[in-house]
Amino acid sequence: EPEVTQTPSHQVTQMGQEVILRCVPISNHLYFYWYRQILGQKVEFLVSFYNNEISEKSEIFDDQFSVERPDGSNFTLKIRSTKLEDSAMYFCASTKREGWGNEQFFGPGTRLTVL
Amino acid sequence: DAKTTQPNSMESNEEEPVHLPCNHSTISGTDYIHWYRQLPSQGPEYVIHGLTSNVNNRMASLAIAEDRKSSTLILHRATLRDAAVYYCILRDNNYGQNFVFGPGTRLSVLP
């Protein structure tokens, strides 16, 4: 069964450093998402991406964040200058087509630790 | 924010049915009701979704009230692997197609 994959599983970085989190969505999916979950808290939407541009973004997704689909398979989330409060699990998700009735497939997540 | 209300936690015995309730009194006519779950240390996982009619799949059943102001996720025979946080999610108009997760219901399954 096809699945969303994410690398690395755990990333440790120093405050102020740039990090890139990588995702490979399911191959025939067209819509891509990033969510984050701070330890012990709820899952929060960050951004959605379709047709090589951002469709929606939340207040969390400020100028420090960017997303890119550099080739036909990868979908990346970049944090330019990490802060301690960026420490969280980051989940990538994808869906085949638009429409609220369609399920999103989530990856296993990347745990980001900012020291 | 999510427009659903769920109990914080529930407990079930293994191999017994589990009914997880969700209230969504402000649901609009075109809102789908989605259920996801999150097993420990994993990403959210799709369980089931519906609009008006009750739905069944291999994982669960979804019973939707006639006025659509509430729904119930039914696990017919709980297993230890079903211990997870279960999220009932509606569309959030602020974010278009994107999910807004609430705190969910933490289901514990006792052997």
Span B43-54, pLDDT tens digits: 999 999 998 999
From the list A11, A40, A14, A41, the residue with the least C-alpha distance to A23 is: A11
Q: What is the pLDDT of residue A72?
A: 78
What type of residue sits at position A104? Q
Name which of B42, B96, B101 is nearest A42 (Cβ-Cβ). Answer: B101
Contact B97 A98 (CB under 8 A): yes
Residues of A in contact with B101 (CB under 8 A): 35, 42-45
Position A24 pLDDT exceeds 90: yes
DSSP conformational letter for B45: E
Number of CB pairs, chain A paired with chain B, less than 8 A apart: 61
pLDDT band at A98 (very low <50, low <70, confident <90, very high): low
pLDDT band at B100 (very low <50, low <70, confident <90, very high): confident
The end-to-end CA distance of chain B, in Å, is 35
What is the CB neighbour count within 10 angstroms for residue B17?
Answer: 12
Contact A107 B95 (CB under 8 A): no
Name which of B46, B95, B103 is nearest A58 (Cβ-Cβ). Answer: B95
Span B56-78, pLDDT tens digits: 999 999 999 999 999 999 999 99
What is the CB neighbour count within 10 angstroms for residue B60?
Answer: 19
